[in-house]
Amino acid sequence: DVRHGPILYLEDVTVSFDGFKAINDLNLTIDDGELRCIIGPNGAGKTTMMDIITGKTRPDHGSVWFGSRHDLLTLNEPEIASLGIGRKFQKPTVFEALSVFENLELAMAADKRILPTLTARLSGEGRERIDEVLATIGLGELRQRPAGILSHGQKQWLEIGMLLMQRPRLLLVDEPVAGMTEQEMERTAELLTGLAGQQSVVVVEHDMGFVRSIARTVTVLHQGSVLAEGSMDQVSSDPRVIEVYLGA
């Protein structure tokens, strides 16, 4: 498993809604193992961009490649997910009545395309994977507790863990720290930076302090295309970025 070059490649992608270009000639390359932050004002096209990658929205034109082999525009949503592209929406959607462990078990069962029943006996390998993921998300101690008792932050980590059960190659994460305490944000920064390298992680986030704490490369979207790209220091001192954010 050699890691080099782009894992995700969007070229000249345009999406219109009733003639309005939500995405306008967007070019974006994500490298294998990279942690990338996408920022931009409301309406910049961040959600639409994620929808294109996962196959929820079809562009008018352009191309979207995953690795060098997969033309995502020829695939439907489940096919794209099965390539190893996982998406975490802003609101956590864990199964509150089930334990932390059972949530992860269910996520694995879904991967194996067997009926997701809680009585499904897991192989030793499956249990090992759950232990690994529990350690990664820091919820080992709470494994037998119902997910409903978790804090907001812990639920977000559990949901990331559920995606990790599928061993994704690319994780798309929408506003992971919205509503989190400072401490939870720090833990989330550790989690996401730890995941990068093993998989690519794309984070859409509004909290600039958080972005600064995790990002190597930041992409600023504006009116559906890339306005600036570089380190947080580079983009935050870019006059065009300042203008967009301050509305000058």
Q: Which residues bind ligand ADP (CB under 6 A)?
A: 17, 22, 40, 42-48
Q: Which of 34/205 has CB closer to ligand ADP?
A: 205
Q: Which of 90/181 has CB closer to ligand ADP?
A: 90
Q: Label each residue of the chain as H, E or C.
A: CCCCCEEEEEEEEEEEECCEEEEEEEEEEEECCCEEEEECCCCCCHHHHHHHHHCCCCCCEEEEEECCCEEHHHCCHHHHHHCCEEEECCCCCCCCCCEHHHHHHHHHHHHCCCCCCCCCCCCHHHHHHHHHHHHHHCCHHHCCCEHHHCCHHHHHHHHHHHHHCCCCCEEEEECCCCCCCHHHHHHHHHHHHHHECCEEEEEECCCHHHHHHHCCEEEEEECCEEEEEECHHHHHCCHHHHHHHHCC
CB of 220 to ligand ADP, least distance (A): 11
CB of 228 to ligand ADP, least distance (A): 15
Q: Which of 17/89 has CB closer to ligand ADP?
A: 17
Q: Which of 38/139 has CB closer to ligand ADP?
A: 38
CB of 131 to ligand ADP, least distance (A): 36
Q: Which of 8/22 has CB closer to ligand ADP?
A: 22
CB of 92 to ligand ADP, least distance (A): 19
CB of 123 to ligand ADP, least distance (A): 40
